[in-house]
Structure 1
């Protein structure tokens, strides 16, 4: 019975080995490009802050101006209205204000502001060399740079959608490779399982390459699975909806469309709205109310409404080395700053926390700098896997059959049957 079980397991491993091989060979070049750019983009924020430090860091000179003082100064200087801001409590950091001129379309422009002098340090729309480089990395990661090709490659689909489709196929193949890889990793004999957990540096380069591929892939298996399982979320609508339904975050688009259609059909039923008297509340009061409701260290984003019918939207993000992703959101009344709605990330069911963290799970900032480092290492490993895997396949392909010994006995009848 034992030989039969061994033969069955060997056949199963061979099937998975073939799937693993061809999934890797087909997607190899795309995976290298996507994972290489992803490795860099893990630290997108940190790279931008380091290279363009003059936008993000300031010298501490005296006392910081209040948010209301900065708001008044900027609106006077720019002849625009502040419609939002990101407030950072760290003393050596700039703050961001979003301003919009009356009648201007879009979301407005966001400026980096020195909180000690109200000096405008820059604009998020300014294309610095760092911003250009990170833009290329993002384009390579999402669309394989095809969105930057002006001439349409296919008539039936845009270049961006084509890049998104190819990216999605390669990511799904990589996911298949991760799943089949664990089956291949399992050793034939239980007693030799420890060999799959270390690299034999004393071996020849083929052995070292083989061990690097197997061992590093095993240690990063969980992170590789998370990255590849979340990647197609941005490539395919069916995958995105499937993810949302799986984790109970899906919302039917018809409800919003019906509401919009009803509004367009009955414009006479809408009562005229009054503009918000921005002087009736203070940004500092908003910060105080937010910190009372959410008593932890973090950055605060405020969206200021343009009409009295709209509430004040506030989001607070935790900061720190182990800071979890996911903001807590408050809705405040424009009349008395009372909380009309509170959406706390910690109050969500575990399924919805996972569903709403798809971006953080993919990029690695699910637990701040701690998880970012782990994702960086795992993504670097993922970049190397198609290379080391191809070398393993090539080495096996070039292997020559062993020569028969001169005095080798003739095969028995049973062995002849087995070889047939």
Structure 2
């Protein structure tokens, strides 16, 4: 082995040993999150599925807000989620005085609150917190960020190490020899699957860095738009009068009239202290490319439309940024890429384990030689 390849091998080894444990957690939780949309109704049916069968017209959102506000008391309503699937419940997210967020699931046909609780205690929220922050807030985010950077280096160095001295021996590294000794089998399980998913693992790692580093996210906008990331929030046109003098149902009707495609709707209520407007996003679910969101901004004091921003008018950087999530989760092309992302995550999770046994076996071999 050349000195260069030996150095690459040491980098690959020690980075793998250092980030092995957090990488395992991030990969396993990532595999679960791939099918979050499909598993949500099964894991928490009361939270995501309406109790009553889909029939008749939807219960007025204005009345749903009143019911939630009565139940939530001093909590402030922040968001409302309306999915295109008529069997799904209306989700209302609130925040209390301590900053804790709560979620209320409301039957969209009867207006009854089915269940509610703290957002950070919901199953998939816990999985997401593990995936991004290791349940350790800023410290966990820093660890997963470094872990993601190191994993990029591990993937690239692993590909270099995979290339044999003589290419005729490459065939041995493309197939697992199940009848081999446990040591050779472990080596095959580390090298062979890793080679096949290397490209997909690299894509997952590179897209994952967007959530870890603002400077990395900024590269997308500077290289495409030539300027920083634009703000998605707008201020109200009016500064006088009380908030809430509007109908949420009328807002949603205007959104559907402006964007007639089938899609999920999210209402985000602005911070009244800073005079922020209400942002309503509708995500088109009819297109091949997912996460195409169009926006309408409403004045939080009187409900007037401030600005309409269809998806076509978004900047190139914003459109690319919106693709990062479906690429990262494997939902970009539906089930085929989801399954591929799931398998890739499982192989990534197994790599620290098989890699550790390779290192341990070599260490024990050297120890025997010394004796």
Partner of 2:62: 71
- Contact kept, 8 Å, 2:90 with 2:107, in 1: the verdict is yes
Distance 1:34 1:284, change over 3 A: closer
Distance 1:39 1:71, change over 3 A: same
Partner of 1:125: 118
**Partner secondary structure for residue 327 of structure 1:** strand
Distance 1:247 1:213, change over 3 A: farther
Q: What are the Cα deviations for residues 298-347 of structure 1, in whole angstroms up to 9, with x where unaligned?
A: 2122346799x976532122448966234232346898977833241686
Corresponding position: 1:115 with 2:83: no
Partner Cα distance (1:399, 1:306) in 2: 63
- Contact kept, 8 Å, 1:213 with 1:388, in 2: the verdict is yes
Equivalent of 2:319, from 353, 364, 371? 353
Partner of 2:128: 138
Partner Cα distance (2:252, 2:319) in 1: 30
Distance 1:250 1:395, change over 3 A: farther
- Contact kept, 8 Å, 1:233 with 1:243, in 2: the verdict is no
Partner of 1:178: 155
Corresponding position: 1:25 with 2:14: no
- Contact kept, 8 Å, 2:283 with 2:293, in 1: the verdict is yes
Partner Cα distance (2:353, 2:270) in 1: 52
Partner of 2:328: 362
- Contact kept, 8 Å, 2:221 with 2:227, in 1: the verdict is yes
Equivalent of 2:263, from 278, 295, 298? 298
- Contact kept, 8 Å, 2:245 with 2:303, in 1: the verdict is no
Partner of 1:34: 26
Provide structure 1 residue ranges, at least 5 long, that are not aligned to the other structure. 1-6, 148-159, 261-269, 404-420
Q: What are the Cα deviations for residues 126-156 of structure 1, in whole angstroms up to 9, with x where unaligned?
A: 676xx2x5454334333334x3xxxxxxxxx
Aligned length: 360
Distance 1:85 1:196, change over 3 A: same
Shifted more, 314-323 versus 218-227: the winner is 314-323
Deviation of the 1:219 alpha carbon: 1.5
Deviation of the 1:248 alpha carbon: 4.5
Partner of 2:240: 272
- Root mean square deviation, CA, Å: 4.3
Equivalent of 1:215, from 192, 204, 207? 192
TM-score (normalizing by structure 1):
0.69
Partner Cα distance (1:232, 1:221) in 2: 17
Partner of 2:295: 329
Corresponding position: 1:93 with 2:88: yes
Partner Cα distance (2:310, 2:14) in 1: 46
**Partner secondary structure for residue 191 of structure 1:** helix
**Partner secondary structure for residue 278 of structure 1:** coil
Deviation of the 1:357 alpha carbon: 3.6
**Partner secondary structure for residue 50 of structure 2:** coil
TM-score (normalizing by structure 2):
0.77
Corresponding position: 1:192 with 2:192: no
Corresponding position: 1:342 with 2:319: no
- Contact kept, 8 Å, 2:163 with 2:170, in 1: the verdict is yes
Partner Cα distance (2:171, 2:16) in 1: 25
Q: What are the Cα deviations for residues 137-177 of structure 1, in whole angstroms up to 9, with x where unaligned?
A: 334333334x3xxxxxxxxxxxx433333333332222111
Partner Cα distance (1:171, 1:305) in 2: 33
Equivalent of 2:361, from 365, 377, 395? 395
- Contact kept, 8 Å, 1:325 with 1:368, in 2: the verdict is no
What are the within-5 Å matches in structure 2 for residues 145-156 of structure 1? Answer: 145=135, 147=136
Provide structure 2 residue ranges, at least 5 long, that are not aligned to the other structure. none
Deviation of the 1:125 alpha carbon: 2.6
Q: What are the Cα deviations for residues 95-131 of structure 1, in whole angstroms up to 9, with x where unaligned?
A: 2345799xx8979864211122111112253676xx2
Distance 1:228 1:73, change over 3 A: closer
Partner Cα distance (1:342, 1:386) in 2: 46
